[in-house]
Amino acid sequence: MTKFAPRSRKVRVLATLGPASSSPEMIRKLFMVGADAFRINMSHGAHADKIPLVKAIRALEKELNRPTTILFDLQGPKLRVGKFAEGKVLLETGQTFILDRDKAPGDADRVELPHKEIFAALEVGARLLLDDGKLVLRVSGVEPDRIETLVEVGGPLSNSKGLNVPDVVVPMAALTEKDRADLAFAVEQGADWIALSFVQRPEDVAEARRLIGGKASVLAKIEKPTAVDRLEEILELADAVMVARGDLGVELPPERVPLVQKHIVATARRMGRPVVVATQMLESMIVSPSPTRAEVSDVATAIYDGADAIMLSAESAAGAWPEESVSMMDRIAIAVENDPGYKARLHFTETFPDPTTADALSEAAKEIAETISASAIICFTNSGASARRIARDRPSVPMLVLTPNEATARRVGLLWGAHAVITKDVSNFEEMVAKSKRMAMRHGLAGSGDKIIIMAGVPFGTPGSTNMLHVQRLTGKELEGFDD
């Protein structure tokens, strides 16, 4: 069995798998050049196509003895217009255009809108965005089966193009029948994280949590202005959040997206939730072996802001350069984290501990690590809650997460700075210290003479009991005669 050393960087890289990266050989290559976690997109392909991906990741996990994170991303409700008699029409700016419930093929004056929920939700003055925002309609009249609009930005419109409704909350469940089937499949496949698309309100997250039943962690994708407005409520129920800039960039003016991204990242960090920044990060690498300078700067900004993870979509899933895209993400992250000014930028967002013993100890661990120049923070956890608290404070040293729980080890793969190891639980203080020292040396995080900080709970093995912080110096003899 190969042992894989911890990454030298703290931000995680999440790579989407697809036609360009579906073979076990390519999945292995992506991991070796920097992918920490893998996203399986349920918007495309059949369930049978996903099973080999999960098997390949788990086989790699076993080979490298490194817990590896799998995120299943649900499609969510897709709003689309109907079909046209000629397949395509041209809408002129200033004309009137009707959306109705008539299933007859459309023309330049009208088309079917097969989503009855929208008719009840819309108000005069609301915008409708078509084809990723390329066309803009303004609602001038609403009836139970008919929406009259004025075309503010015209252009060609073809069959089944997407529709965005940015100005109102559409009373649609975040989980369609397809999503429910996909969610059940993801849980059956042992998903570590399940991402919810087009979340509008906290109730959407609550429904998913009920269906998942604790068998996976829940990540809420923020891609609608209505979700931004209720961000803190959503974060109270979600385990993590994603800045999904695709649809968010359609529904918001482009100049607002960077501001909203920073707001989401900062809010998630303050609330102790992992945050992923995604969509078009290295878009040009779908066809080019090198990114644009603007894309590199975009990735760097997300890292400076303190994102837990940065994600590749089509770049690794369907592009011509999947391995190079992951490698570029890795190199950008390493360069940023080696910047002398990185620490100050990272802590521009202040995080305040909750009035609990565990939060107080997490903050203290970060301060002590810097004061005594410790090499690592060792965190004993069963549920992963202690690891999330430590990661929120963004300590300057790596965090070694020791847990007997395989699911926990896999789920912390989206946490900033975390390296998880599945190991037997400890039963007393002496065993805790000895194991911490051995594991720190075995995984290359500390050596003879180095100091480590240990965070755990007494009684040992009791979830939610984090109440102890201990500093220990290594002698170099810790590895003798032990098998963990």
- Calculate what percentage of the chain has a pLDDT beyond 70: 97
Phi/psi at 35 (5° precision):
-75, 125
CA neighbours closer than 13 Å in the CB half-sphere of residue 146: 9
Tell me the mean pLDDT in the region 254-271. 95
Least confident of 192-201, 348-357, 423-432: 348-357
CA–CA dist 407, 59 (Å, integer): 16
The first and second tokens of residue 400, run together, are 């070694």
pLDDT computed for residue 482 by the predictor: 57
pLDDT computed for residue 173 by the predictor: 81
The first and second tokens of residue 298, run together, are 């975009």
The residues, any chain, with a CB within 8 Å of residue 221's CB and separated by 6 or more, are 73, 76, 195, 196, 197, 198, 199, 241, 242, 244
DSSP 285: G
pLDDT computed for residue 478 by the predictor: 64
pLDDT computed for residue 484 by the predictor: 61
DSSP 4: P
Task: Collapse the DSSP code of 28 into the 3-class scheme (helix H, G, I; strand E, B; otherwise coil) and give the result.
Answer: helix
Q: Which of 347-361, 368-382, 467-481 has the highest mean pLDDT?
A: 368-382
- The β-bridge partners of 89 are 157
**What pTM was computed for the model?**
0.92
Q: How far is CA 279 from the centre of its chain?
A: 11
9: left (phi over 0), alpha (psi -120 to 50) or beta: beta
CA–CA dist 11, 310 (Å, integer): 7
CA–CA dist 399, 406 (Å, integer): 17
Bridge-based pairing of strands 451-457 and 376-380 is: parallel
Task: Collapse the DSSP code of 14 into the 3-class scheme (helix H, G, I; strand E, B; otherwise coil) and give the result.
Answer: strand
Question: pLDDT tens for residues 462-483?
Answer: 776 788 899 999 987 766 555 5
Question: pLDDT tens for residues 66-82?
Answer: 999 999 999 999 899 99
CA–CA dist 432, 193 (Å, integer): 29
The residues, any chain, with a CB within 8 Å of residue 241's CB and separated by 6 or more, are 219, 220, 221, 222, 231, 234, 235, 264, 268, 273, 274, 275, 276
The first and second tokens of residue 17, run together, are 């798998």
- Calculate what percentage of the chain has a pLDDT beyond 90: 85
Query: Is the confidence at residue 400, as pLDDT, over 50?
Result: yes
Residues designated as active site: 39, 80, 221, 279
CA–CA dist 320, 251 (Å, integer): 29
pLDDT computed for residue 1 by the predictor: 44
Phi/psi at 123 (5° precision):
-130, 155
Tell me the mean pLDDT in the region 141-151. 96
Question: pLDDT tens for residues 441-455?
Answer: 999 999 999 999 999
pLDDT band at 361 (very low <50, low <70, confident <90, very high): very high
pLDDT computed for residue 483 by the predictor: 57
Tell me the mean pLDDT in the region 332-353. 90
Tell me the mean pLDDT in the region 33-52. 97
pLDDT computed for residue 352 by the predictor: 81
